[in-house]
Amino acid sequence: MNRVKVRRPGLLILGLILSGLFLTGCPKKIPPPVVPTEKPPFVNPMDKLLQTFSPVESLQAKASIRIDTVERGEKNYFLLNGVVYYQKPDKLRILGFHPFGMALFDTLYRDGELFILIPLQKRAYAGEVSEFQDLIEKAGEIDITSTRNESRNIPSRIRIVIVEKEIDIELRLKDVSVDRELPQDAFEWTLPNGVDIRPLERLLRGKRGK
């Protein structure tokens, strides 16, 4: 299996993380079914992800993140380190770092709103996830599973698979602390100097411009 070398790793890896954890990006075209079928109820994949942490009130952990992709028949993978914060009922923050320590992305989901910071690009985005229901519904099957530490009833491994896009994301949690006071700024959003917030739609729908 090959590791990919890219000029803008932060943006590429963030796109893959978003595809698995939050949204879907541009979906492939799927021909309509010959026989009309009843539309299944909409389920936000973020709700599925938050449910894996629901047995606890709060959680803080380090994470090993692996992203496997298939592009034009070629398999590639990315390895990064991360930090995860969770607070019941709907706050989740995941920070991703290059193995050598460089910050690649900072994603914060809070009260239905998604905040994204890409330090290498000096870009930040914010928006309501509910505005992109159409993208989520067209993504196809999104499978989220977890392996739990039975003695503590907390996730030790979380796997997100976007079946149609052949994206497989695995988070292995370690040094997990639950139901303890989190850092005061765990869910605070502070932008570095010189970084402006752009609409989330500009990133997720691939729109360009200032």
pLDDT digits (tens, 9 = 90+) for 16-42: 566 555 554 444 444 455 555 565 566
Higher pLDDT, 43 or 24: 43
Q: Which of 68-72, 135-139, 178-182 is predicted least confidently?
A: 135-139
Torsion of CA 186, 204, 140, 39, to 10 degrees: 100
Query: Which of 4-8, 80-84, 137-141 shows the highest mean pLDDT?
Result: 80-84
Sign of CA dihedral 192, 18, 104, 57: positive
C-alpha 81/C-alpha 95 separation (Å) is 8
Identify the CATH homologous superfamily for domain 2-25+41-178. Answer: Lipoprotein localisation LolA/LolB/LppX (2.50.20.10)
Distance (Å) of CA 71 to CA 2, 136, 160: 12, 21, 18
**Backbone φ, ψ for residue 154 (5° rounding):** -130, 150
Q: Counting Cβ atoms within 10 Å, is residue 116 exposed (0-12), middle (13-18) or buried (19+)?
A: buried
Residue 89 has a pLDDT of: 93
Confidence of residue 57 (pLDDT cuts 50, 70, 90): very high
pLDDT in tens, 116-168: 998 888 889 998 887 877 776 766 678 889 998 877 788 999 999 888 878 89
Arithmetic mean of pLDDT over the chain: 80
Residue spans per domain, the chain: 2-25+41-178
Would residue 101 be called left, alpha or beta, if left means φ above 0 and alpha means ψ between -120 and 50 degrees? left
Residue 131 has a pLDDT of: 80
C-alpha 22/C-alpha 27 separation (Å) is 14
Residue 25 has a pLDDT of: 44
